[in-house]
């Protein structure tokens, strides 16, 4: 059940316009490089038999 207070819906009804923009903070070159570096380190650790950054055990 929806709350009675819906600020986005209320704003659209009032202004008749809705602008949606994507969230891309990970898209910067440094962020992408960090993801790749972390992935490589995770695979190397797994191959050594010492997994790191394990989510489910």
**Nearest CA to 52 among 40, 6, 9?**
40
Structure confidence at residue 38 (pLDDT): 95
Query: Which pTM does this prediction carry?
Result: 0.53
Q: How far apart are CA 2 and CA 25, in angstroms?
A: 30
Structure confidence at residue 3 (pLDDT): 62
Query: What's the mean pLDDT in 25-40?
Result: 88
Residue with the two structure tokens 């997994």: 51
pLDDT at 17 over 60: yes
Structure confidence at residue 1 (pLDDT): 52
Q: How far apart are CA 41 and CA 47, in angstroms?
A: 10
Query: What's the mean pLDDT in 41-55?
Result: 94
Q: 18 Cβ partners below 8 Å, 6+ apart?
A: 8, 11, 12
Residue with the two structure tokens 């995770």: 42
């Amino acid at each position: 059940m929806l709350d009675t207070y819906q600020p986005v819906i209320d704003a659209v009804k009032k202004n008749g316009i809705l602008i949606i923009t994507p969230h891309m903070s990970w898209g910067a070159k440094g962020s992408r490089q960090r993801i790749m570096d972390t992935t490589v380190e995770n695979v190397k650790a797994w191959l050594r038999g010492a997994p790191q950054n394990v989510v489910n055990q």
